[in-house]
């Protein structure tokens, strides 16, 4: 199946759907307000959100490039976050396409490293994209692995 990656512009149908997915999984994050067009704050090209569309019209996955995603690590920026692939489209390479897109955007914005945190079970996905473990810790009540990738 062919997928099209597109930037999710604030207040677009795709951005609002992606915001709903994020809220379902993690609650309302500042990114959700930006996606809905409720806050226009964007500095240095961040936040950035991209989506994968099937048949060029149906959003099936999304990811974001964020600032300060882990509140107690303000010295680490930017972050790959909110990677979501709809259940019925998993195991088709979409996560990898979105990770590559966010990496390319971070590089284009002049960053020299990229961070993320995820469930421990997801670590192999990011290791395949040359992220390395920085620390294993509890964050927001969950065991998480924090990873970094040089750009």
The pLDDT assigned to 40 comes to 61
65 within domain boundaries: yes
Structural domain total, the chain: 1
Looking at the chain, the whole-number percentage of residues with pLDDT higher than 70 is 95
Between 12 and 102, where is the model more confident? 102
102 within domain boundaries: yes
| CATH code of the domain containing 16 | 3.40.630.30
74 within domain boundaries: yes
Q: Is the dihedral of CA 80, 78, 41, 141 positive or negative?
A: positive
135 within domain boundaries: no
**pLDDT tens per residue, range 20-46:** 999 999 888 888 888 888 766 566 777
DSSP 3-state of 137: strand
**pLDDT tens per residue, range 50-76:** 999 987 689 999 999 999 888 899 999
Q: Which of 57, 49, 48 has the alpha carbon at shortest distance from 3?
A: 57
The pLDDT assigned to 43 comes to 65
């Amino acid at each position: 199946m062919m997928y099209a990656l597109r930037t999710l512009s604030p207040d677009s149908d795709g951005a609002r759907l992606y915001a709903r997915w994020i809220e379902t999984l993690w609650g309302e994050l500042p990114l959700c307000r930006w996606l809905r067009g409720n806050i226009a704050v964007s500095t240095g090209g961040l936040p950035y959100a991209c989506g994968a569309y099937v048949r060029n019209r149906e959003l099936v996955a999304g990811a974001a490039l964020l600032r300060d995603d882990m509140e107690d690590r303000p010295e680490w920026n930017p972050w790959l976050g909110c990677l979501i692939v709809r259940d019925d489209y998993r195991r088709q390479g979409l996560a990898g396409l979105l990770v590559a897109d966010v990496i390319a955007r971070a590089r284009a914005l002049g960053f020299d490293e990229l961070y993320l945190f995820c469930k421990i079970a997801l670590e192999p996905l990011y290791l395949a994209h040359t992220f390395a473990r920085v620390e294993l810790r509890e964050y927001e009540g969950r065991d998480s692995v924090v990873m970094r990738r040089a750009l």
